[in-house]
């Protein structure tokens, strides 16, 4: 079960895996996520569903190596099995034909989860304008697929190595200046700081915006409250009430502080794993 059918390396730190998970694939909808455990001693980590195929029974995930668990996942080979893979979790995106244009913004690894949202929006007849961005050219992922899922695709890199130089928010601001009226809804997925800035731009234009919150999770089914966030002054669980919320209501400062909760332990675990890999390499 949960076999890695295919694995691709997209950059130094970004990977994509296709996992055999027929039950998840059958039920998955845009905006939802999964939780996986690499091995028996592993932790439960949430990853948003980048794509799925009910007929063929697979789910695609995209991840960046940021710590021990993602490093371990990146080292697993095609044909190997994950210890656990559960989903789809969370509330699906509120997608319909809005009778106009929608703005889709994906930052870095956040481009992956925004893809199914854009695809579905376009399928339902919306005019989809997508903006994808990253620090540098190598970190722009899924460009072809995003092109397919959008009516217009715009690209930004911080260092100007590809597309427009600058942040996704610069392009977003330009578009909203030009055609604020026509934009019926906005989605932004990416690092918390990016979603916070996108929300600020949306607020300046008096627009609503959806963001997908990536808070720390354990069970992912509403049993523990590890992922709790303040939305409109109320405590919500990102795993069952979200992960998508109206950005205008989210307390990003609190969320960012909560994400740093285990910094020290995360660093320790990564160092130990890297040490172990070095030892194995020198012995082998």
Which parts of this chain interact with other proteins (CB under 8 A)?
23-24, 27, 37, 41-44, 68-69, 83-89, 218-219, 221-226, 228-230, 235, 240, 254, 257-258, 260-262, 265-266, 268-269, 272
On whether the CB atoms of residues 184 and 100 are closer than 8 A, the answer is yes
Whole-angstrom Cα distance, residue 155 to residue 59? Answer: 26
CB of 258 to other proteins, least distance (A): 6
- 190 forms bridges with which residues in the sheet? none
- Between 5 and 216, name the residue whose CB sits nearer to other proteins: 216
Report, in Å, the least distance between residue 16 CB and other proteins: 21
263 is in an annotated binding site: no
Q: Any idea how long the chain is?
A: 284
Whether 237 and 228 have beta carbons less than 8 Å apart is answered as yes
* 65 assigned binding-site residue: no
Which phi and psi angles does 2 have, rounded to 5°? 55, 45
Concatenated DSSP letters of 201-252: HHHHTT---EEE-----SSSSSSS-TTEEEETTEEEEHHHH-SEEEGGGB-H
Least Å distance, CB 133 to other proteins, is 28
Distance of alpha carbon 157 from alpha carbon 237, whole angstroms: 33
Instruction: Considering the complex, state which of residue 108 and residue 247 has its C-beta at the smaller distance from other proteins.
Output: 247
HSE of 27 in the Cβ direction (CA atoms, 13 Å)? Answer: 12
Find out whether 227 is annotated in a ligand binding site. yes
If the CB atoms of residues 13 and 230 are measured against other proteins, the closer one turns out to be: 230
On whether 66 is known to bind a ligand per the annotation, the reply is no
Q: Judged by CB, which is closer to other proteins: 43, or 158?
A: 43
Choice between 97 and 261, CB closer to other proteins: 261
63 annotated binding-site participant = yes
Q: Closest separation between CB of residue 25 and other proteins, Å?
A: 10
Q: Are strands 164-165 and 183-189 parallel, antiparallel or unpaired?
A: unpaired
Distance CA 120, CA 97 (A): 10
Least Å distance between CB 44 and other proteins? 7
> Distance between CA atoms of 110 and 104, rounded to whole angstroms?
11
Q: 129 or 229, CB closer to other proteins?
A: 229
Integer Cα distance of 207 and 188 in angstroms? 13
* 198 assigned to a ligand binding site: no
Q: Would you list which residues are annotated within the binding site for [2Fe-2S] cluster? A: 224, 227, 239
Q: Would you list which residues are annotated within the binding site? A: 62-64, 224, 227, 239
Q: Would you list which residues are annotated within the binding site for FAD? A: 62-64
């Amino acid at each position: 079960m949960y076999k890695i059918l295919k694995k691709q390396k997209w950059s130094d730190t970004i990977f994509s895996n296709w996992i055999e998970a027929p039950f998840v694939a059958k039920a998955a909808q845009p905006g939802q996520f999964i939780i996986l455990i690499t091995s028996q001693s592993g932790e439960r980590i949430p990853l948003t569903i980048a794509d799925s195929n009910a007929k063929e029974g697979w789910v695609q995930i995209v991840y960046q190596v940021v710590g021990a668990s993602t490093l371990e996942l990146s080292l697993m080979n095609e044909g190997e099995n994950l210890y656990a893979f559960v989903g789809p979790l969370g509330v699906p995106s509120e997608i319909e034909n809005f009778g106009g244009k929608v703005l889709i913004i994906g930052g870095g690894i956040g481009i992956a989860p925004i893809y199914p949202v854009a695809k579905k929006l376009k399928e339902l007849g919306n005019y989809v304008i997508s903006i994808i961005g990253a620090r540098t050219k190598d970190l722009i992922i899924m460009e072809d697929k995003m092109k397919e899922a959008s009516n217009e695709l715009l690209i930004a890199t911080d260092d100007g190595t590809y597309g427009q130089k600058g942040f996704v928010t610069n392009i977003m601001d330009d578009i909203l200046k030009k055609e604020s009226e026509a934009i019926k809804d906005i989605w932004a997925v990416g690092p918390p700081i990016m979603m916070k800035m996108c929300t600020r731009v949306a607020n300046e234009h008096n627009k609503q915006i959806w963001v997908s919150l990536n808070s720390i999770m354990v069970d992912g089914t509403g049993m523990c409250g590890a992922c709790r966030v303040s939305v409109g002054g109320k405590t919500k669980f990102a795993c069952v009430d979200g992960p998508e919320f109206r950005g205008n209501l989210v307390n990003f400062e609190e969320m960012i502080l909560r994400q740093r909760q285990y910094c020290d332990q995360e660093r320790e675990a990564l160092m130990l794993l890297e040490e172990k890999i070095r030892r194995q390499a020198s012995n082998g």
